Amino acid sequence: MERDSGFSELMQQAEQLTADMDGNELPRVERNLRQILDAGQQLWSRTTQVVSRDTSDVKASILLGSKGYDLPKVTQKLEKLSATKTFEPIEPIRITDIEGFLKNERENAILSVIEESKKSTSERADKLFWNNLEYEWEDEKQRILNALSGSTQEIILDTSTIMSENINMRIRTSMSASEMAYAKQVYLYNEQIVQGGLKFNLAEKFYAVAKELDEKSILDLWEMVKIMTDIPLSTDKDILASRCSGLIQTAFVNQARKYLEKKYRQYIEVIVYGNLQQANIGGVPGTYYLIRSFLNIKLSIMPPGLEDGLVEGHPVWAMIYYCIRCGDIEAAEKVAMSASSVLAEFVPYLKEYNQSEDHRLSPASESQLRLMYRRSVYTGTDPFKKAVYCILACCNMNEDHSEVAEKTDDYLWLKLCQLRSEEIGESSIQMQLDRITLSQLQSLLLEDHGETHFNAYEQPFLYFEVLFLTAQFEAAIEFLSRIEHLRCHAVHLAITLYEMNLLALPTNIHAPLLSQNKADKPPMRRLNFARLIMMYTKKFEITDPREAIQYFYFLRNIRGIKEENLFISCVSELAQETNEFEMLLGKMEPDGCRKVRSKFNIFK
């Protein structure tokens, strides 16, 4: 009963409170148990923070008081400091020790200079050490590469050459007959220079050597070199800029065409005079009747599709093409004038083509001839007529004319006839697109086709000819030097071009044998002439040091990695390896003059 009465009273009190709240104007707040618990925890945390902070302050006051600090006074100073708007010190500065300060600064300055000098000296020593180590490694690497690239021929000791104390034990020469023949001409050339005479034509001298060797391929190679180097020589130090000029490129193209035309005429003569009965030679000696006799053999059976009639019993366009192929434009004119009136409009173009110095029609004539080609010739069936129009008008560059150009020489000649100078602006967008420049032809042959296309290692002279006649001298020489029995000819070809200022060299002598600079116009290559010479002489420099010096003399104007004279550097190393100091460097006489046993005095 008591519990019931207690609950009744509690109920009445709750109702009373509710009634009082309902009468109040303030808004009524309703909370659940969770919200009441959160509010209680927040109040408790605030209370504990205030208590803990007060306790920390009390503890700090006791600690500072025990050390002699007056906490209220310090607090006032801090508040005053934070409220100060200037940077003036609160307490006066004590008197500075000027003498001690200056002494200390002087000592610090001296120590800093010593430390900086020590650091810079250490850095410089490290740099010199690593540079010297890199140079020695590059030099050793060059020696290894040269040794690996040298001949594998065994060096045999000749015991019969052991002589008196003034003559050391010698080794039999490791130079072949062709190498000795070339070395003789090199010696004569260097002697001429040392004595202050004029340089003679090395290509002519090496051509004479090729005649002595009596090998047709080598003779053709040096004949090609003679013709290609018969151009206006430039004294410009920038060899690449000179070779990329329109004048020099045109000269290269004309000389290449001249060589191919001369070679083809010789080929026709061999065919004709080897088949005299079938050739039926007659008439005045000359290209006109030579081509007629050649066609008696070649076109004994008339192929179908030929147009515009016959001359001397042969297709008119075939005769015109072969006359142009032999380089005789006047003979081609004679054929065209002997034909029917169908070719009357074509004769003026042939005359203009013949009268121009570089065998080029004017832009207006080219445009007219191209229009005629597109209207009728392109859809025709005569391959010779198409080839002649494409040669004169420089059009349809993508056509290979395989029915006419049977060999690589014919294809190369056709492309050379169609080349246009990069410095000449075309009169129309179509003519700009429908043209090919020398650099484009070079890229096509070297990079797009390359060694695989031409089966280079089976036909090395053909691939060399393709590169050399398109003025890619460096790539042609480098390819030839990779074939051991042809390396001798490649080296002397490089010497010829180097002396004529036609060889592009790298800026670093440790560059690969054939390299390409990013700044150079594609597909230009550079040949490491110094490395090629050192590779070549590695074979015989021990057995024939005097001959090796002759080749080192060509390096006298080339600087090494340390800007040293490469000729002197090579001779010094050769003297150390062979111990032939007196023969190579000479001997000082009592009168102070140097006496050199070698015929070639390097100190002149």
Strand extents, DSSP E, 66-119: none
Encoded tokens for 76: 């006032």
- Which of 452, 448, 498 shows the shortest CA–CA distance to 479? 452
Residue type, 456: A
Query: How are beta strands 594-595 and 587-588 bridged, if at all?
Result: antiparallel
Encoded tokens for 82: 């934070």
384: Cα separation from own chain's centroid: 40
| Rounded distance between C-alpha atoms, residue 584 and residue 574, angstroms | 9
pLDDT for 125-134, tens place per residue? Answer: 888 888 777 7
391: Cα separation from own chain's centroid: 32
Look at the block and give the residue holding tokens 């002397």: 492
pLDDT for 405-446, tens place per residue? Answer: 999 999 999 999 999 876 554 444 445 556 789 999 999 999
Residue type, 167: I
Q: Are 320 and 314 in contact (CB under 8 A)?
A: no
Helix/strand number for the chain, H first, E second:
27, 6
Encoded tokens for 281: 């030679």
The values of phi and psi at residue 534, to 5°, are: -70, -35
Averaged pLDDT of the chain: 82
pLDDT for 291-307, tens place per residue? Answer: 999 999 988 777 788 99
Q: Is the overall model pTM greater than 0.75, yes or no?
A: no
Encoded tokens for 39: 């509010």
Look at the block and give the residue holding tokens 């400091």: 81
Instruction: Average the pLDDT over 120-139 and give the result.
Output: 81
Top pLDDT among 577 and 6 is at 577
Q: Are 251 and 471 in contact (CB under 8 A)?
A: no
DSSP labels, 9-40: HHHHHHHHHHHHHHHSSSPP----HHHHHHHH
Q: What pLDDT sits at residue 357?
A: 81
pLDDT for 437-496, tens place per residue? Answer: 999 999 999 999 999 999 999 999 999 999 999 999 999 999 999 999 999 999 999 999
pLDDT for 304-318, tens place per residue? Answer: 889 988 998 899 999
154: which DSSP letter? P
Encoded tokens for 227: 């013709």
Quick check: bond before 545 cis, omega within 30? no
Q: Report the half-sphere exposure of 166 (CA within 13 A, side-chain side).
A: 1
